[in-house]
Structures are given as structure tokens and as C-alpha cells.
Amino acid sequence: MKICVTGGAGFIASNIVDKYIELGHDVVVIDNLSTGNRNNINPKAKFHELDVTSDRIEKIFEEEKFDILNHHAAQVDVRVSVNNPIFDAQTNIIGGVNLFNSAAKSGVKKIIFASSGGTVYGEQTIFPADESHPTEPVSPYGISKLANEKYIKYYNLNDGIDFVIFRYANIYGPRQNPFGEAGVVAIFANKMLKGEQAFINGDGENTRDYVYVDDVVNANVIALQANLNGIYNIGTATENDVNYIFNSLKKIIGAECDEIHNPAKPGEQRRSVISYQKFNEVCGWTPQTNLFDGLIKTVDFFKKSK
């Protein structure tokens, strides 16, 4: 199949691109390299350095005749969305609609979309949350992800485009960006490996559901199946707090930094953990990597890249 992967120079999508190419698919990457790394782009993929809001998107879709759009490009930082909701909406909502509209006009058969189980549900009332949990996002980022879901459903009803929407938990692993505000595993690991102090925001008792990137890649391979449609959580159904991540990485690395807490950041949920039962029942997917082993693999990657 011919697949367009947006954000294919970034952490998650570049791993997906590698797997798609390994399986023999024809992959085209669209990425503006604002946060992605050119070195992450598979040399066998065709690359367009382009923002998803660009008016050139429609022409590319017309020329390439994609079978599938896998949309991972996004402004992914909750704190950036809180500080600049207009920028977040322009990138995530307008960019998404630009892609979906181009997909509809050019005959794309399916959209695979990276949504966020960590933010679209808001402050959870059920733990772990399944896909029927009320969607009450508490950040502009979560709102933008939910808006994309609604637009995808519109194009499904209006143009018959199949879709798989993945509501991801907190993804970590090789190639995660350690230099932004998001991605606590990469940030902590990078700091500790350099002998620098890593800081915990707030009391460190905020919990998240951490899922390893290889498990997410496997889900995106399954999503290519023609008969698979719907909204699915991708997580581990297990929550761990930030203090656990800090102390586990400290143990793995042998770091000597202290556990120091900074003030909490606005827009952060207190608890987030999601159920993957629906996707498991439909296709048998289950996470294969436990958190501590995944942290070891992530640290090994950063050691080698350093």
C-alpha cells in the first residue's frame, strides 16, 4: 500500500515508518522538522519538508494517490497549548482538517489518527478509562485532539473514508525528544546521563499510563487491516507516578541526583490510565513491554546516541 505518514521525522511516527517500510509498503513522509529530526527519516521513504497547514498538501495528495493517511504530526506539548491555544489550534485542528479534506478529495481509503487517551478524557472518574468514558479535556491540546476525532467521523459519514483513531497513553522509548517540555522519560534520562539535575514538577504523584513505542508501532500495523475501524485506547491499564519514573531511571543509570520538586505546571491532569480491552478483544493486541524493561531499553538508546 501507499501510505502518507505525517510527523514521520518525529519520535513515534518515525518508528512506524520504519516498520511499514520493513513490511514492504510505499511510504511518503510529511514533516516540517519543527520538532522532528531529519536523521529519523527512513532513507527509503519519500520526504516532503512541509507544514500540515500548507496549501501544497492538497496537490501532494492529488499527485501521490495515497491509500492510507497516518496522521501523527502535531503540536504535542500540553503546556504550549495552555500558553498559546491559538497556535495549538492552528497546527492541530486546521492542519488536521487540511489533511482530511485533501484525503477525501484524492480518494484515500483510510485515516489512522494519533489521538490522546491521556487528555481527551480529562480528569477521569473511572480507572482505567475505556472508550465510553466522557470526553472532557482540560487543556487546549486535548480539545484539539477531540476536534480531530469529530472531523474524521464527519469525513467517514460524508465521504466514506474508513478510520482508526488511537487514543494513546503516554508513549516513551527510543527517539523520544529529550529537549522539550513533554516526555518525562526522555527528559529525565537525558539529564541523568549527562550528570545534570532532573527536576520533578509538583509533588510527583501525578500518574500516567506509560506504553512502550514498539507496542504502539504494532498497533499501527494492525490498523492497516481493511476490516478494522473505530476508536481504540492504546495503553497498559497500569498507572505509575512521576516519582517512580524518576527513581527507576536513577537506579538504572546509577545517577546521583537528588529528588528535587519544582512548582506544578498548569493544565496537567492528576491521574490518567486507560483500558486496552476493546482493542484486545477486536484484534488480540496487548502491550508486550513492561515499564521497567522499557526504561532500560530507552536508557540504552540514549547511551548509544550520546
pLDDT of residue 52: 98
φ, ψ for residue 275 (rounded to 5)? -90, 140
pLDDT of residue 143: 97
Report the predicted TM-score, pTM, of the whole model to 2 decimal places: 0.96
In three state form, how does the secondary structure of 49-110 look?
Answer: ECCCCCCCHHHHHHHHCCCEEEECCCCCCHHHHHHCHHHHHHHHHHHHHHHHHHHHHHCCCE
pLDDT of residue 306: 65
Q: In sequence order, which residues have a C-beta less than 8 Å from that of residue 211 and are 6 or more positions away?
A: 168, 169, 170, 171, 172, 234, 235, 236, 287
Question: Taking the CB of residue 66, how many other CB atoms lie within 10 A of it?
Answer: 24
pLDDT of residue 79: 85
pLDDT of residue 179: 79
pLDDT of residue 78: 86
Q: Is the peptide bond before 134 cis (omega within 30 degrees of 0)?
A: no
pLDDT of residue 182: 67
Is 20 annotated as catalytic? no
Q: From first to last of the 306 residues of the chain, give the pLDDT tens digit.
A: 999 999 999 999 999 999 999 999 999 999 999 999 999 999 999 999 999 999 999 999 999 999 999 999 999 888 899 999 999 999 999 999 999 999 999 999 999 999 999 899 999 999 999 999 999 999 999 999 999 999 999 999 999 999 999 999 999 999 999 876 668 999 999 999 999 999 999 999 999 999 999 999 999 999 999 999 999 999 999 999 999 999 999 999 999 999 999 999 876 789 999 999 999 999 999 999 999 999 999 999 999 986
For residue 84 the three cell numbers come to 498559546
Question: Considering 121, 141, 155, 232, which one is annotated as catalytic?
Answer: 141
Q: Which domains does the chain have, with CATH numbers?
A: 2-171+212-234 (3.40.50.720), 172-208+238-273+289-305 (3.90.25.10)
Q: Nearest Cα to 65, choosing from 19, 109, 111? A: 109
